[in-house]
Amino acid sequence: MISLDLEIKLLTLENLSAILELDQACFGGLWTLDGYKRELDSPNSDLLGLFSPSSSTSLLGMGCFWSILDEAHITILAVHPQYHRQGMGAALLYSLIKTACDRKMERATLEVRASNLAAISLYQKFGFKTAGRRRRYYQDNDEDALILWLPDLQHRKFKATLDQWYSIVSDRLDKSSWHLLFK
């Protein structure tokens, strides 16, 4: 079986048009050009992209978190609809959490639509727990958001957890003929 390479790397201003295309495909235009420029320029923001040299789509997925004190606040996790259910969301989430650990963040948090059962399931597989609810958080339809937390990123046992997740993510990608490379 042929394996196709995937690469996760920090996004730059050179990727802006691909970022906007992916945002449009996944969210219908959630953030603006200026919003993404601010993210890319901010020292407190990590915006990661998922690329494959063998894909016709230049940016297959992206994830972002803000460093707020010792917390990684995940703001975006998106995979192009053409590549859903191939393990790429898990690869991006792993990479965000690993980056947060490397940046000495103590915990991670995010909001997710209460109806987004696929995303909630993914986050739960990575140890996120529901900590609360934001009523009418999403302006497009007044849907509630669940607040999820992942603690203890700097705990000495968390390194083993990260290693396990890497194996799980790699195995899942292999089943879809992908191989993850890190830059």
Residue 83 annotated to the active site: no
Note if 111 is an active site residue: yes
CA pair distance 148, 21, nearest whole angstrom: 28
Least Cα distance to 173 among 19, 1, 26 occurs for: 1
The single residue of 7, 14, 123, 138 carrying the catalytic annotation is 123
Q: What is the DSSP string of 117-130?
A: HHHHHHHHHTT-EE
Q: Identify the CA nearest to 99 among candidates 5, 10, 6.
A: 10
The CA distance from 59 to 97, in Å, is 20
Q: How many CB atoms lie within 10 A of CB 119?
A: 17
Residue with tokens 């997710």: 112
Residue written as token pair 């063998």 = 54
The residue from 36, 39, 94, 111 that is catalytic is 111
Catalytic residue numbers? 111, 123
